[in-house]
Amino acid sequence: MLSREEYLCLSLETNLFFQRIMKEHLLFIESSLQPVETARKAEANRLKRAFEELLAESVEYAQRIKLSEEALQAKDIVTPYTLGAEEITSRLTGLSINTDITRRELALFKKQDYYVESIDYGIRNLNARSLNLLEEVINYQRNILALALRCEIYTTLYPELLLHVTQEAVYYREMLTALQSRRLPRRTLCGELNFWNHVMGDHAQFIACMLDPTEVRLKETADNFAERFAILVERCLRTPEREIIQRSRDAAERVRNFKRAATEGILACEIKSIIPPLLADHVLREANHYLKILRNY
């Protein structure tokens, strides 16, 4: 059973990370759908805005409670690149992004006013509303994937990427469901590592496929990362615990550095690709989040 402080901190840190991830998934889907899909684009935008509202609320609560030093240092909530990536992506796509939330989050790391008032009920209610919205998002994303697989809609996102974002939404739902019972999700070591190693491998594959064919060196590097994470997943149960943790940490650090360099290159227009700047920062934050998880083992 989690203590009161653990429950509040873990709930906020989980929401600050995943609510942003969820809203960005919806933005990527919205931008990938064609003009003919008016209703589906509008639904993606509605769900995205709903998660933006929840994220804005999480930021307000985060100003009233002391977040862990680990969360403040991890750079998985925002990075130094997030605001610029949002501004460029919004300008290039014409899609709305509430950048004020990002500015407030950046300020969050400079000063916090702790426990101004009791927030227990508010956090529980926030988690509950996030869970309800997640059900809508999961159903929406599964429907988009099903339509794409039946060739009833055209989207510029790979079916595997649509599956990927839905799996992350399900993971977030499991986190919140457990937290609402004042506990952590019951996952085995390999269950947790394999989920994130698979996520990192997917990212590497998506990056390789979205780079321009002339970016040979970068594509080869991304492909090598994808293969490395696939091996980690395949061998987890047959590898000693300390060894698989260390190998996962080493691979995560290397792919994080690769993603950071790629984000800088894309923001500076020095890498030829069809990767939206915000997607580059998005996968960097997920690598930072995985490294934060690995530090607890």
pLDDT one-digit tens code per residue, 124-156: 999 999 999 999 999 999 999 999 999 999 999
Same domain, 114 and 175: yes
Q: What is the pLDDT of residue 64?
A: 84
Q: Report the Cα–Cα distance between both ends of the chain, in Å, rounded.
A: 19
Task: Verify that 98 and 226 share a domain, yes or no.
Answer: no
The pLDDT tens digits for 178-205 are 999 999 999 999 999 999 999 999 999 9
Q: Over the chain (297 residues), what is each successive 10-residue block's mean pLDDT?
A: 93 98 98 98 98 97 86 93 98 96 89 64 97 98 98 98 98 98 96 98 98 98 98 97 98 98 98 98 98 96
Structure pTM? 0.96
DSSP string of 66-101? Answer: ---HHHHHH--S--TTHHHHHHHHHHHH-----HHH
List, in sequence order, the alpha helices (H) in the chain. Answer: 4-32, 38-62, 69-74, 82-93, 99-108, 120-149, 159-180, 189-210, 216-235, 241-267, 277-294
By three-state DSSP, how is residue 143 classified? helix
Count how many residues are written for the chain: 297
Residue 116 pLDDT: 47
Q: Is 60 exposed, middle or buried (0-12, 13-18, 19+ CB in 10 A)?
A: middle
Compute φ and ψ for 273, nearest 5 degrees: -165, 175
Residue 110 and residue 243 share a domain: no
Phi, psi values for residue 239, rounded to 5°: -115, 140
Mean pLDDT over the full length of the chain? 95
Backbone Cα Rg of the chain: 19
**Domain end (from 161, 185, 209):** 185
Determine contact, residues 285/79, Cβ cutoff 8 Å: yes
Q: Are residues 68 and 156 in the same domain?
A: yes
Q: Are 95 and 178 found together in one domain?
A: yes
218 & 232 share domain = yes
Residues 1, 102: one domain? yes
Provide the residue range defining the domain that includes 90: 1-185
Residues 177 and 222 in one domain: no
* Final residue belonging to a domain, choices 185, 205, 225: 185
CB 76 within 8 A of CB 286: yes
155 and 99 together in one domain? yes
The CATH code of the domain that includes 164 is: 1.20.1260.120
C-alpha torsion sign, points 277, 282, 287, 292: positive
Last residue of a domain, one of 164, 185, 206: 185
Structure tokens at 4: 């009161």
Do 179 and 230 belong together in one domain?
Answer: no
Does 158 lie in the same domain as 35? yes
Number of domains in the chain: 2
175 and 45 together in one domain: yes
pLDDT of residue 112: 56
Say if residues 266 and 275 touch (Cβ distance below 8 Å): yes
